[in-house]
Amino acid sequence: MISRYVAVIGAGAAGLVAARELRREGHAVVVFEREDQVGGTWVYTQEVDSDPLGLDPHRVSVHSSLYSSLRTNLSRESMGFLDYPFLTRSDGSGDPRRFPGHQEVLMYLKEFARVFAVEEMVRFEVEVVKVCLVENNRWKVSSKKTSDGDIVVEEVFDAVVVCSGGRYSQTHVADIPGTCFLFSSF
C-alpha cells in the first residue's frame, strides 16, 4: 500500500475517527482544527454571534450550535465507535444517563483522541481558508492561525477529508422579493 499525505479538516467526531483510521492504514495525517480543542460541535460556549443574521461582514462569528442544557437524542450505544464504546464511567463521574448531556459527549471525544493519540496530529487554532486541486491530482490547502489571520500558509497534500460542520455557522438570508432589506451576497 502507498502511504499518502492526508489533510483532515475538523477535529470533531468525524475528523477524529477519520484521522485515526487513515493513520491505521499507514498514511501521514494532519488535522486542521480552528478551535483550541477537539470536539467540534460538542464544544459549548456561552458566546453568541454579534450579528445573528450575518448582515455585518465584520461581525464576531461564534462557531457553536449547542445550548447549555442540550442532551443527545441518540443513545450512548448508537453514538459510540465500534471499537471504543461510549460507556458510563465506572468511577461514577460524568453523566450516567443513556442520553447524556453535551459535556459527556465532549469528554468521550477527548478521551478517544487521547487514547488513540489523535491529538498529536492536530494543528489547533488553524483555520483552513481554501482548498484547490493542483497538478498531479494533489490538493493545495491554504490555512492560517486564528491568532494572526494575515499569514496564510500553503501546503500540498495527496488527499483531503472534509469533516467540518462550519457550513452550519454561515448564516444565509433568503432574498425575498418585496422586502425592504438589502443583503450582500454570501
pLDDT digits (tens, 9 = 90+) for 83-139: 999 999 888 888 999 999 999 999 999 999 999 999 999 999 998 888 888 889 899
pLDDT of residue 154: 94
pLDDT of residue 181: 39
How does pLDDT run across 151-178, given as a tens digit for each residue? Answer: 999 999 999 998 886 555 554 455 555 4
The percentage of residues in the chain with a pLDDT greater than 70, rounded to a whole number, is 86
Topology (CATH) of 5-168: FAD/NAD(P)-binding domain (3.50.50)
- 37 or 172, which is more confident? 37
Distance (Å) of CA 83 to CA 10, 79, 97, 142: 21, 12, 21, 34
pLDDT of residue 116: 97
pLDDT of residue 184: 33
Burial (CB count within 10 angstroms: exposed 0-12, middle 13-18, buried 19+), residue 183: middle
pLDDT of residue 55: 82
The answer to whether 64 and 45 are in contact (CB under 8 A) is yes
pLDDT of residue 170: 54
pLDDT of residue 186: 31
The stretches of the chain forming alpha helices (DSSP H) are: 13-24, 76-79, 102-115
DSSP assigned state of 61: P
pTM: 0.83
Strands 122-124, 126-134: pairing is unpaired
pLDDT of residue 46: 85
Q: Which amino acid is at 162?
A: V
Mean pLDDT, the chain, as a whole number?
85
Is pLDDT above 80 for 180?
A: no
Q: What residues does each domain of the chain span?
A: 5-168
